[in-house]
Structure 1
Amino acid sequence: MASADTEVSRRPRPLSPHLSIYRPIVTMVMSIMHRVTGMMNVAGLVLVVIYLLALAGGPESYEWANGIYSSWLGRIVLVAFTWSLIHHMLGGIRHFVWDTGHGFGDVRYDLARLTIFGSIILTTALWSLIVVLEVI
């Protein structure tokens, strides 16, 4: 009977490729960010539901939720949620362009960069407008 300590069992096993093997490129990072923003959107929608429940719960619960969401930490979370929604939307548009058969080749890098910068610019513009109009 063969022993478990034979030469065959001592050979190093091959490793599967993983993120440390590959050089990160913008399209790979965008793929990961699309998944991350999808999870952020779910968490943000939970915050929206909490706010709506507080609104339906009466003046005391509304004041409680409004106090949390209008604090500096609440505003940071809302800005992050807004960026997440916009980034995920622009990533979806990028995927829609790919579904039409366009945007492949070197253009895919430009589309990925446009998604990054577009989400930052649109979020900044939206929150600048919110601050100027004093909506929140």
Structure 2
Amino acid sequence: MKKQRPVNLELSTIRFPAAAISSILHRVSGVIMLGGVGFLVWALATSLQSAEGFALVQDLLTGFVAKFIAWGILTALGYHLLAGVRHMVMDLGHWEELDSGRISAQAVFVLAILVSILVGVWLW
């Protein structure tokens, strides 16, 4: 049985639409938040154990690396919330056409960038 299908093996020529990128990034942000929860739970548990543990966590969270990690977690949370609202609106039957899906995905990208900037200003 010979299948005569077009085969495109050059991955650099494949272009995903904005809605597909938005959906993929929604999943990636969920994974980032899941990893970040481990760090946050550790910080909470350590800070509640003793005064020394609280001082340790306080010292760690005032450093650049910890602020960068917190910025990444909060940026992922912001994007995940925005994209989640977009997906829920689509589940209600709106924004299901190609143009409205593309526009809503682009709006999520712009809003996520603004949230990321605001979180960075708030942290630093």
**TM-score if structure 1 supplies the norm length?**
0.76
For residues 13-92 of structure 1, what are the structure 2 equivalents within 5 Å?
Answer: 20=11, 22-92=14-84
Moved over 6 A (4+): 16-19
Residue 119 of structure 1 deviates from its aligned partner by 1.3
Cα distance in structure 2, aligned partners of 1:49 and 1:67: 16
The residue aligned with 1:97 is 89
CA 1:91–1:102: 2 relative to 1, 3 Å: same
Q: What is the percentage of aligned positions where both structures have the same residue?
A: 20
Matched length = 120
Cα distance in structure 2, aligned partners of 1:129 and 1:84: 15
In the alignment, structure 1 residue 107 sits paired with structure 2 residue 100: yes
Cα distance in structure 1, aligned partners of 2:94 and 2:9: 29
Residue 47 of structure 1 deviates from its aligned partner by 1.5
Cα distance in structure 1, aligned partners of 2:28 and 2:37: 14
CA 1:119–1:29: 2 relative to 1, 3 Å: same
State which structure, 1 or 2, has the greater radius of gyration over its C-alpha atoms.
1
Unaligned runs of 5+ in 2: none
Task: Calculate the aligned-residue CA RMSD, in Å.
Answer: 2.7
Unaligned runs of 5+ in 1: 1-10, 132-136
Cα distance in structure 2, aligned partners of 1:85 and 1:67: 24
DSSP-derived class of the 1:77 partner: helix
**TM-score if structure 2 supplies the norm length?**
0.83
Q: Which has the higher contact order (CA 8 A, sep 6+)?
A: 2
DSSP-derived class of the 1:103 partner: coil
